[in-house]
Amino acid sequence: MLRLGRREFDAQEPVIMAIVNRTPDSFYDQGATFRDEPALARVEQAVAEGAAIIDIGGVKAGPGEEVTAEEEARRTVGFVAEVRRRFPDVVISVDTWRHEVGEAVCDVGADVLNDAWGGVDPKLAEVAARYGVGLVCTHAGGAEPRTRPHRVEYDDVVADILRVTVGLAERAVELGVPRESVLIDPGHDFGKNTRHSLEATRRLPELVETGWPVLVSLSNKDFVGETLDRPLKERVIGTLATTAVSAWLGAQVYRVHEVAETRQVLDMVATIAGHRAPAVTRRGLA
């Protein structure tokens, strides 16, 4: 059982985490949800289309203008409070590596801290434990936040992913984070080249076998673009194909831009796997 905020999810239940970037320079939507009203409209749409988790980020992952902890908090804290007020049952995640920001958003109702940079600030897990919220433990290959990989090498990328993510998860539980609220994320593209991300996808069952729920953040990433030689705005089909494979291999939570399309893919895979009944069954019965 995965427990996040007020929600509980069965082990076979695929869960969508919708991305809401509170940044003026986000890599995919170029700041479309930087202002409050478009961002709140995005939350409403995502929930209506089947997202159970809203992931709010105040700093884009890639290089760019410096964003201080104070500015990151300014972009996220008030928005988290408003989402909490308008959508009391939605799970609110905040994508941050800074414990100061983590504390501030937990104060106003965040349910999950999504640590996409692999524990670079060890105090973030302490914040999650103190507030009893969920924590995403990600493999970033030791990269500094907001840096791109350069000629990174691994003897065995999945072995390193397992070592880091399981270690972070176990530390989180030792600190007091509820075990049922900890997830691991292989960190596609973070501290990895395209071949590393493809191998991490192919070997997802090794992560699933650890018993920790697996989150994958695949949406429109560079490894999809390089695999198919497609620019940013033409990666949805590749993303959905990777989503279907990941679902079949046992990942549970999907951090995405395209919620409705992802919901259909996950429902189809779950039904083929026998975990979900068809929505209707009229064919051959009339």
For this structure, is 202 an active site residue? no
CA distances from 1 to 34, 71, 271 (A): 34, 36, 20
Looking up tokens 């390193």 gives 160
Burial of 50 (C-beta count, 10 Å sphere; 0-12/13-18/19+): middle
For this structure, is 233 an active site residue? no
- Measured from the Cβ of residue 122, the count of other Cβ atoms closer than 10 Å reads 12
As a whole number of angstroms, the distance between CA 59 and CA 72 comes to 6
- Measured from the Cβ of residue 86, the count of other Cβ atoms closer than 10 Å reads 12
Q: Which of 60, 98, 221, 235 is catalytic?
A: 221
CA dihedral 191, 214, 33, 142 (to 10 degrees): -20
- Laid out side by side, the sheet with 15-21 consists of 182-185, 134-138, 112-115, 91-95, 53-57, 15-21, 253-256, 215-217
As a whole number of angstroms, the distance between CA 134 and CA 186 comes to 17
Q: With contact defined as beta carbons under 8 Å apart, do 216 and 19 qualify?
A: no
Q: Which of 123, 255, 276, 282 is catalytic?
A: 255
**Catalytic center residues:** 221, 255
